[in-house]
Amino acid sequence: MCSAVDGSMSVIMTQSNFCNDKARCLIAARKVSRIRDMEETIRTLCETLRKVRSVPSHFRVFAIGENHFFRAIDGKYSWSEHFNEFGYADIRVFDRGLILAAFAKLELLVNETINLHIVNADSSKIDDLSFIVNKLPFQQRIRALKQFGLINSSLERKLKDLAASRNQLAHEWNENSAKYRDRFLQDDESFELFSANFKRAFESLVKLYQQVQVDVDYEGYLREIIRELEKYSDGEVQG
């Protein structure tokens, strides 16, 4: 934890611990700075794309900044503001369609985290890897995140419990039969816990993806894309 040291007798810290904490604080500060840099890079990428008539079909990007996310695939791109509010991760009513739609976004986060962790920013390999990852049962993808050391056991269990309820909602004839941790999901108390844990898991995965971006210098890859786009002074980009 990063905190100020006031020098009073109430603060007792060895020199070694102080150095370790200071080092952790510096690392954390750099990570925050890199996430803010990513936010600015996403904005610059969007502004650059507005100047061209099409998105090169070979560009494959999924990036998360401080307040926005950006995705480009198959010659199309999209971005969303106020990403840090997680509005679509806030499930307030028991509705099969809404829950499955929200879970699809969580599943995307898991898939893209695995992709980025394994192949870094090499988009030429991500398509091949995505094909394989998408064939895996979701429970195995969660296990992979744990095996890679990207999530802890607590988040792994949380994701597996959420996935079990999602599978029941997707396949049961009557959604009222779906359960969350051995209790019917439609029950008020059970659904409230499910919703809270879903949002916490979603936020954890967003922060994880932001961290992996920093680890692989994904922002550097986006800057290369921007430079490539800027080469086309006539505003025409061939896919």
- pLDDT above 80 (res 55): no
Q: Give pLDDT tens digits for 100-121.
A: 999 999 999 999 999 999 887 6
Does the residue 18 lie in any domain? Answer: no
> Domain for residue 66, yes or no?
no
Q: What are the backbone dihedrals phi and psi of residue 150, each rounded to the nearest 5 degrees, phi first?
A: -90, -25
- Report the C-alpha gap between 123 and 127 in whole angstroms: 7
Between helix 96-119 and helix 138-147 the angle, nearest 10°, is: 40
- The answer to whether residue 108 is domain-embedded is yes
- Which residue type occupies 85? E
Cβ neighbours, 10 Å, residue 17: 10
Mean pLDDT to the nearest integer, 129-153: 90
What is the per-residue pLDDT across 229-239, written as a single tens digit (0 to 9) for each? 887 645 554 44
Residue 203 lies in a domain: yes
Please check whether residue 60 lies inside any domain of the structure.
no
Does residue 70 form part of some domain?
A: no
| Total tally of structural domains belonging to the chain | 1
Residue 37 or residue 161, greater confidence: 161
169 in any annotated domain: yes
Strands (E) located in the chain: 61-64, 69-73, 76-80, 179-180, 183-184
Percent over 70 (pLDDT), the chain:
77
> What's the domain range around 166?
89-215
Least confident of 43-52, 128-137, 147-156, 199-208: 128-137
**In contact, 39 and 68? CB cutoff 8 Å:** yes
Please name the residues in contact with 150: beta carbons below 8 A apart, sequence gap of 6 or more: 113, 117, 208, 212
Return the closest-CA partner of residue 163 out of 103, 86, 102.
Answer: 103
Distances in Å between the Cα of 101 and the Cα atoms of 67, 105, 177, 200, 238 are 21, 7, 19, 17, 33
Say if 74 falls within a structural domain.
Answer: no
